[in-house]
Chain A
């Protein structure tokens, strides 16, 4: 948005219908623009567009701005907006849907690489079956955020001392069956 003129050629008039057609988007058309979501969101100040604005932008067909925004990635899944929305829109679920669409369509905000955290999380679980917190932080931070990683060294050391840091990644026992499930799930997701 940022005070620019939105040309007709940049508008995706079917974006609202696209979101409304999703299982979690069933009530998006009844958004009142009341702002309860933005008012209750504990992460609104971290977003480039607060949730109410995102819904206005979806309506205006601003697909690239919505999918490229920081907003879904700052959502911490606390569901404050979901339980308070007077139109009963499943806002948190829509934020998840926007995250998935942004990744799938390659539009995730270049200003943030937070989406990489979620990708690494998914990759680790797909491969090992369980999360390994140290591996996740290393993959997310080592190359792209080396300075931030250094700031976490004391925490890591303390966690080593208290014995809560898992070094060896888990291995799911029935790996063959598990992998087949992961592959099938990926194929079914791609069809959506």
Chain B
């Protein structure tokens, strides 16, 4: 079966490595994807602050373009997933806004019938592709690693469709399926600050740094997040402390990069060299060794 793929803007820019890793992982798992032709921005949390009808129309256009091609769509970005989900809810509930969006779509010669299911990559891997398939394809390359699962906000709030709002478990399940250990920390669904990193840099850095601090107390070897903006913001917080060009202390990977590592894909296939701080690949190798020797010592 072929699945529709909505990359979202960051996949073509600052989060290019997320897309590279995602495509490599899907190739490895034998999942066929078809990118929606001529897709546009979902509007994220910004357009809705200026023009609500436009924000919903932008996301609805993507669904309208996808609808003739299939019913199941996947996107790696929680913010895109939330906007697309909100459009679906508005269309299913038949609210007044949906009617306006329909009129705007019609002005451009499009129509959306409300039939496209949207999955976030995490839900897609756990519930559509299935943990068994991931487990079978896993190598032992993540063995000995302690992974901190940082969910961020919009994948669990306000609609945690495939997980628990307060204590989500999908990433934990994936980490274990990949043969690694989970490093639990407080605040796995806390906010990284989102766009504050752009509008109020010092405040944004502080919010992300607080999350990094909490994560570091669990002494993980890798942090993983399903959100491209969370990944960037945590990296920016570290970069802000360490610039210029010091190597990373704690690699922050996106979900596809982590799964790819677990499946034995190469750093190049996963875009690891595109990380904001250099030295991610090296750190992952040495951290594993340290963590393994630590465990032996504890025994």
* Chain A interface (Cβ < 8 Å from any Cβ of B): 23, 42-43, 46, 72-74, 76-80, 82-83, 90, 92, 96-97, 99-100, 103, 114-115, 117-119, 121-122, 125-126, 129-134, 136-137, 140, 148, 151-152, 154-155, 158-159, 162-166, 170, 172-174, 177-178, 180-186, 188-189, 192
Total A-B Cβ pairs within 8 A: 196
Residues on B with beta carbons closer than 8 Å to the beta carbon of A121: 44, 46-47, 50
Quick check: B190 and A117 within 8 Å, CB to CB?
Answer: no
Q: How far is the CB of A140 from chain B (nearest CB, A)?
A: 7
B207 on the A face (CB < 8 A): yes
Shortest beta-carbon contacts, A-B, top 10:
A78-B191, A79-B157, A184-B107, A181-B108, A121-B46, A177-B108, A76-B194, A131-B9, A78-B153, A185-B54
Asked whether A125 and B43 contact (CB < 8 A) given A23-B95, A23-B97, A164-B17, the answer is: yes
Asked whether A185 and B57 contact (CB < 8 A) given A96-B49, A164-B14, the answer is: yes
| Complex partner residue of B191 from A76, A132, A136, CB under 8 angstroms | A76
Quick check: B40 and A172 within 8 Å, CB to CB?
Answer: yes
Quick check: B153 and A159 within 8 Å, CB to CB?
Answer: no
Quick check: B14 and A133 within 8 Å, CB to CB?
Answer: yes
* Chain B interface (Cβ < 8 Å from any Cβ of A): 9-10, 12-17, 37-38, 40-41, 43-54, 57-58, 61, 95-97, 100-101, 103-105, 107-110, 153-154, 157-158, 165, 190-191, 193-196, 198-201, 203, 207, 236, 239, 243-245, 273-276
State the CA gap A170–B13 with chains docked (Å).
Answer: 11
Quick check: B273 and A132 within 8 Å, CB to CB?
Answer: no
Asked whether A178 and B47 contact (CB < 8 A) given A79-B154, A114-B199, the answer is: no
Quick check: A125 and B13 within 8 Å, CB to CB?
Answer: no
